[in-house]
Amino acid sequence: MVGSRIVATGCTSGLGLHALWQLIKTAPATLPPPYHIYLLARDPKAAHSLRARDELQALSRALGGEIESDIELREANLSSLSSVRSAAKTISSDIATAQTAAAKHISPGRIDVFLLNAGIAATSKRLVQDRDADLAGEEGLRDDSGRYEETACVNHVSQQLLLAMLLPQLLNREPSRGRPVRVVFTGSALHRKLRTIDDLQTFFDPRREASSSWDMMRSYGASKFLQLLGAQHLVKVIQEGESRGGSSGSIVEVIVVQPGFSPNTGLSRESSLLGRTFMQYVLPRLPFSFITSPEEGGANIAEACYRPLEAFPLVRSADADQDTPSSPWLEEGAPPHHGVRKVLVAKGGEREAPDTRSEDAELARKWWPSVVEREWEAARRGSQM
């Protein structure tokens, strides 16, 4: 069994598509082909989704190799938790019995990488409703009608729900050739622009009325801060499960990669015509260090999927020959703690510490979705039966 399986969101265009292109072309030994890739898309029948699948399949075919990779499109609308649940259940069933040429070279039930690249930046506050979940009580992210602010739902809640429905069963399996399960979130340096913690409530509490203070990039940056809180708490959830004896010893690596800002991606789709024109034709030509091309950003994300953690160098401070202050995200050469490691990789492939406010465990717990916690609890109960 030599192949690799990837579950990918937000990879039918932009940085995500470039990342998968780079990955297939590189075929690294740490994440070897043939690949069985699930491309999760809001509309798998859309022209750009079909084109992405065909381009990746054609690339695999052109590169030759003994076994051709297999690219499958699956529906997953991350604005709908019902759609996410349906996708997770289908994938869970499929990976146990998949019989494609590539799948036959991958251990049954195995997923090597979760590439969670999907994200939106909204020009206004919109609410989406979870019609399936038990609505007992409410929380910071959800009201008593089961409604969520859409940016928080897509960029945080849906990603964690997908993981909660698929990751526990991987932790209960024997490790595959010592290879870790890797969870890659596409983050953003904009998470550091969160003005105050109260902004999370302002933007993402569905009970709060939309106000004139809504700002597309500020709310997007706040959602990426929320994503980091989720990654932080995910590590804690896995550690707690390990300490209860709920795993066979599989190693999990959680990476938040900040590929830089690429103006030519779909994040500007909701901007005005003038805004989109500026983003696509003017901004890429300006000499700003935070701007990246789709190709460069895609390569950064691809490396986060396969490069050993120790191969990402620590970033140095600008005013001294000292590494960035100690942070749990900057462990170097440390053995996995209860089977899980985490790292934040900035543009250029350097490890750095995130905004220290995102390391607040109580804050992370506060913004951890209850629908996600229920899935993890169900998985724990199932592993003990």
User: Got the DSSP string for 174-239?
Assistant: --BTTBPEEEEEE--GGGGG---THHHHHHH-TTSPP-TT--HHHHHHHHHHHHHHHHHHHHHHHH
Contact 40/146 with Cβ under 8 angstroms? no
pLDDT for the residue numbered 375:
93
> Which residues share a beta bridge with 176?
179
What's 186's domain CATH number? 3.40.50.720
Fill in the amino acid letter for 73. Answer: L
Distance CA 382, CA 268 (A): 43
pLDDT for the residue numbered 214:
85
Coil, helix or strand for 40? strand
- The dihedrals phi and psi of 323, each to the nearest 5 degrees, come to -70, 160
Residue 328 preceded by cis peptide, ω within 30: no
Distance CA 109, CA 106 (A): 8
pLDDT for the residue numbered 318:
40
Say which residues have a Cβ less than 8 Å from residue 215's Cβ, sequence separation at least 6.
none
Domain range holding 225?
4-383
Distance CA 34, CA 24 (A): 9
At 57-71, the pLDDT tens digits run 999 999 987 788 999
Residues lower than pLDDT 70 in the chain: 1, 133-138, 172-178, 211-212, 242-249, 261-291, 316-326, 328, 330-338, 383-385
Number of independent structural domains in the chain? 1
Distance CA 250, CA 340 (A): 9
Task: For residue 334, give both structure tokens.
Answer: 């440390």
Distance CA 218, CA 385 (A): 45
pLDDT for the residue numbered 337:
46
pLDDT for the residue numbered 322:
42
